[in-house]
């Protein structure tokens, strides 16, 4: 289900607020290509949302738990989250992409925020 422009703006504002909070309060770097890593102090935008809203301010080690938490915190579907990630990770738009608003927001934020590729921060990871 498509979101309205005001809903997209609200989601974007929540994501940007979480990124700023996690960067300034916990010293995380913004990355793409994975959820992030607590020990290396890096996270993707939705990882920042999870960290910002987690009672311990940590990213779960299980990416499926992170997926569920990001979906819950932003009040969006799992599909929305995966399409946002595809856009933020700068993956090409394909016919499988069913929520182009989420994809476009992810891609726009990637271009706006200039994140670091996760491997450049933590090396080879198991994701």
Looking at the domain assignment, is residue 124 inside a domain?
Answer: no
Predicted TM-score (pTM) of the model is 0.91
How many domains in the chain? 1
In a domain, 122, yes or no: no
Instruction: Identify whether 123 is part of a domain.
Output: no
pLDDT tens digits, residue range 31-55?
Answer: 999 999 999 999 999 999 999 999 9
Q: What is the pLDDT of residues 80-104, one digit of tens each?
A: 999 999 999 999 877 666 778 999 9
Answer yes or no: is 43 within a domain: yes
The answer to whether position 120 is within a domain reads no
- Model confidence band, residue 126 (pLDDT cutoffs 50, 70, 90): very low
Q: Return the pLDDT at 92.
A: 85
Give domain status of residue 63, yes or no. Answer: yes
CA 118 and chain centroid, separation: 13
Cβ neighbourhood burial of 44 (10 Å; 0-12, 13-18, 19+): buried
Decide if 33 is inside a domain: yes
SS3 sequence, the chain? CCCCHHHHHHHHHHHHHHHHHHHHHHCCEEEECCCEECCCCEECHHHHHHHHHCCCCCCCCCHHHHHHHHHHHHCCCHHHHHHHHHHHCCCCCCCCCCCHHHHHHHHHHHHHHCCEEHHHHHCCCCC
User: What is the rounded CA–CA span in Å between residue 54 and residue 66?
Assistant: 10
- The residue range of the domain holding 39 is 5-114
- pLDDT higher than 70, residue 125: no
pLDDT tens for residues 21-31?
Answer: 999 999 999 99
Question: According to the model, what pLDDT value does residue 120 have?
Answer: 94
In a domain, 82, yes or no: yes
């Amino acid at each position: 289900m498509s979101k309205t422009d005001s809903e997209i703006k609200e989601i974007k504002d929540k994501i940007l607020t979480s990124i700023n909070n996690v960067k300034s309060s916990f010293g995380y770097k913004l990355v793409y290509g994975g959820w992030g890593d607590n020990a290396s102090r890096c996270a993707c935008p939705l990882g920042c949302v999870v960290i910002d809203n987690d009672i311990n301010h940590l990213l779960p080690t299980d990416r499926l738990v992170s997926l569920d938490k990001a979906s819950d915190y932003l009040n969006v579907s799992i599909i929305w989250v995966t399409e946002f990630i595809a856009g933020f990770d700068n993956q090409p738009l394909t016919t499988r992409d069913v929520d182009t608003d989420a994809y476009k927001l992810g891609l726009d934020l990637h271009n706006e925020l200039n994140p670091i590729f996760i491997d450049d921060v933590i090396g080879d990871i198991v994701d």
